Amino acid sequence: MLSLAPVSGLVPIGEHAFADRYSYIPLVGFYGMAGYLWACWQQGVLRNPLPVLALLVCCTLLSLQSARYKQVWRNDLDFWSTIVEEFPTQAAMPIDNLANAHAVAGDYERAISSSRRSIAVQPSQALPYINLAGIYDFTDKSEQALAVLNEGLAINPDNTALLSRTGRALVERGELNAAQVLLERALSLNPDLPDTLLSAGMLHQRAGRLEAALQVLARVPPSMPQHYQANLHILEILMSQQSEFAMAQLMEMVKVYGVTPQLEQARQLLGR
């Protein structure tokens, strides 16, 4: 019930409330006061029943709101569909999250449509372009993915996430010179962004600059989701060099991530 308060409209705390299903902090004081007044009433300290009655009315209203939203909170698709329906033009972020929910559900046409709608609402936001490109990539539409990323860069030329993602797309297509221009720009803006480090490492690897690739990929922080992918590329490089450190790298990754399909394949190639 507490976590539903922000979306009930009782506590309007901005568009980011939509993204946080646990924004119950604004009502902590209310429930603390409710408990205190109830205790006073029970102990006979509070003789006027009106404050207690008011609290009961508030609690009843919140409970009714909870019951109304119970079905909304079942999954991401229901949640974001409701938010977008109630606030159709307020922010791009809920619409983009709805696109992601459609993609997870396997409805890629609606995912693409929602991503396009998110971009139309707020073209200056970089994330919808990146997410839409990811949907196109997943559905084997690499040309459309690159077109979307370039569309985003035209509006956000200094966005490091877009520069990095577009650079990686160019690396995967073998357009290394164009990728290098974008990734050098991204590194000059933010030399420590994990996604940029991963993309730059992939560029060095593809260009045959293996020592540079190892140095850059090793800079991806272990706490970041890109760390696994960076370590896979490090393992590929060590295996291509027939390095004695390849097995140690593999064992360390298995210890951290378990036996993934990629690591199982590497283990078979290394004969262990």
Tell me, yes or no, if the two domains 76-157 and 190-272 fold the same way: yes
pLDDT at 198: 96
For residues 199 and 171, the answer to whether their CB atoms sit within 8 Å is yes
CA distance 99 to 114: 5
pLDDT at 25: 52
pLDDT (tens, 9 = 90+) of the chain, 272 residues, equals 554 554 444 444 454 444 444 445 556 666 677 777 777 777 777 667 777 677 778 777 777 776 666 666 667 777 788 778 777 776 778 888 889 989 988 999 999 999 998 998 889 889 999 999 999 999 999 999 999 999 999 999 999 999 999 999 999 999 999 999 999 999 999 999 999 999 999 999 999 999 999 999 999 999 999 999 999 999 999 999 887 899 999 999 999 999 999 999 988 888 76
Select 76-157's CATH number: 1.10.10.10, 1.25.40.10, 3.30.200.20, 3.30.830.10: 1.25.40.10
Which residue type sits at 249? Q
pLDDT at 219: 96
pLDDT at 28: 61
How much is the pTM? 0.73
Residue boundaries of the structural domains of the chain: 2-72, 76-157, 190-272
For residues 199 and 172, the answer to whether their CB atoms sit within 8 Å is no
* CATH topology (fold) of 190-272: 1.25.40
CB atoms closer than 10 angstroms to residue 122: 16
Structure tokens at 1: 């019930």
Q: Tell how far CA 97 is from the center of its chain.
A: 9
pLDDT at 29: 64
pLDDT at 81: 81
HSE-CB for 52 with a 13 A CA cutoff: 15
pLDDT at 24: 53
HSE-CB for 226 with a 13 A CA cutoff: 21
Which residue type sits at 244? E
Q: Where are the alpha helices (DSSP H) in the chain?
A: 5-8, 28-42, 50-69, 76-86, 92-104, 108-121, 127-138, 142-155, 160-173, 176-189, 194-206, 210-217, 226-240, 246-257, 261-270
